[in-house]
Chain A
């Protein structure tokens, strides 16, 4: 079945470091990918919608300059957390929708646990 690969699964780094997270759709083309952030005991909050070949659409309150999203191909979207600080520590997860499959389930990556020291 459809698989989304997210890498890395865990990152621990110092404050001020930039961290890049990759999300790949392995066997389908994803014109749209979504990035979520989840704090402990909370829901998954949509950060941005990534569209292949165009700028990402960010949700209100999400800093575009801090969370850089690039969706350069139909199978790859990246999220870069720039100059990360401890408050950015969270579980980040991507999902992808098969091209033209609005009525189909989202396919999720396994998530990235980011810890900023």
Chain B
């Protein structure tokens, strides 16, 4: 039931772009995206409620393809502060986190 994310890990130089994908074997009612720094609680980034919805703030955006049961997170012009592990999360009666993507931004 856990969504699968890809890639598992990515290393970027500052200013580069990245895409993180989240794929579920079950129907998605909504998709959440979180970022977690080591040893800390996850921090909410955004939620997408409808298929086809796209959202973004700052240089981080996401899309939700309900039919394909997929969501993607886009990070553009990455900053050092973007480093962390990114998780998608899917809701129904329970809330499951994806497998996670470790993102490291280097100078």
Residues on A lying within 8 angstroms of B by beta carbon are 34, 36, 42-46, 49, 57, 59, 91, 93, 95, 97, 102-106, 108-111, 113
Binary flags per residue of B55-97, CB closer than 8 Å to A gives 1, else 0: 0000000000000000000000000000000010101011111
CB contacts between A and B, total, < 8 Å: 50
The binding surface of chain B is classed by DSSP as loop
B contacts with A, residue count (CB < 8 A): 22
Contact A34 B95 (CB under 8 A): yes
The distance in angstroms between the C-alpha atoms of A92 and B32, with both chains bound, is: 20
Contact A44 B94 (CB under 8 A): no
A44-B87, A97-B95, A106-B89 known; 14 other A-B pairs, CB under 8 Å? A43-B2, A43-B97, A43-B99, A43-B100, A44-B42, A44-B97, A45-B2, A45-B97, A49-B93, A95-B95, A103-B30, A103-B47, A103-B49, A111-B40
